[in-house]
Amino acid sequence: MIGGDRIESRRFARQEAGTFACSSKRRSLTTAIGAAFGALMLLLAAAPAESACSERAYDEARYTICVFEVGRDDLRLYWADSDRKPYSSFDALAKSLAASGRRLRFATNAGMYGADLAPVGLYVEDGKRLRRADTRAGPSNFHLQPNGVFWIGDGAAGVTETSRFLADPPAARYATQSGPMLVIDGRIHPRILPTGTSEKIRNGVCVNGGTTAIFVIADEPVTFYAFARLFRDGLGCADALFLDGSISSLYAPELGRDDEFTPLGPIIGVSAPAAP
């Protein structure tokens, strides 16, 4: 699985030792620190459209957090051009958009993919299902059940556990499956434990209020548990999805950020009309 974490998921490799195990421990959805950080995110979401991304610290780790409003911001999934050639990079996507009079404001990798850069699992683009859902269990991060789907509709978006998504599909124009879920119904994935020691760059997504999409990339290696706790306690997310590990990349011109580390599969992007 080329789009998986280089150690954790490539070719369906074994999971991080010590990170996943059964757990019945439950924690509250928010803490005082989380509430304060959540309030900060609400302020960030209400900021001008060109101030979507911000570098923040939480629990002694550094993250870049980008917030967009569905309906206000043109949030989509991109995989291949009209000739079905994968974009494979932020630069190629930006050039394609520029040719049609638009500029790329934000982009990040949209999940795991194969050697041909095709998405792994469910993938919907512009209302067309291009890849079927993968509901198998297995040793990779993607197949650690439950995994989930990030989807975008007309005026709404969400992160939904895969079986729920398939049982009652929302009106999604765009959707990408990845895994594992980080937070499910306000609880950290039961097989992600605080005792995990493997630290990697990671990125993920949650949606608050049905319209506020929050994308996070770690700016330094963090454990799965620390990353999940950021979403649950720091951002107040009831459901959050892991997108990927070591290949996690971000395009955020406002921060002077353009990660072009490796050929990419599907891409989450936000565009706007080019300046006159």
Its sign, for the CA torsion 230, 233, 235, 236, is: positive
Cβ count within 10 A of residue 44: 18
> Which amino acid does the sequence have at 273?
P
Omega of the bond leading into 263 within 30 degrees of 0 (cis): no
DSSP per-residue codes, 9-69: TGGGPPPPTTT---------S--HHHHHHHHHHHHHHTS-TT--EEEEEETTEEEEEEEEE
pLDDT in tens, the chain (276 residues): 555 554 343 322 334 433 333 333 333 333 433 444 454 444 454 444 457 999 999 999 999 999 999 999 999 999 999 899 999 999 999 999 999 999 999 999 999 999 999 999 999 999 999 999 998 887 778 667 899 999 999 999 999 999 999 999 999 999 999 999 999 999 999 999 999 988 999 999 999 999 999 999 999 999 999 999 999 999 999 999 999 998 899 999 999 999 988 899 999 999 999 987
Q: What distance in Å separates the CA atoms of residue 244 and residue 268, rounded to the nearest whole number? A: 13
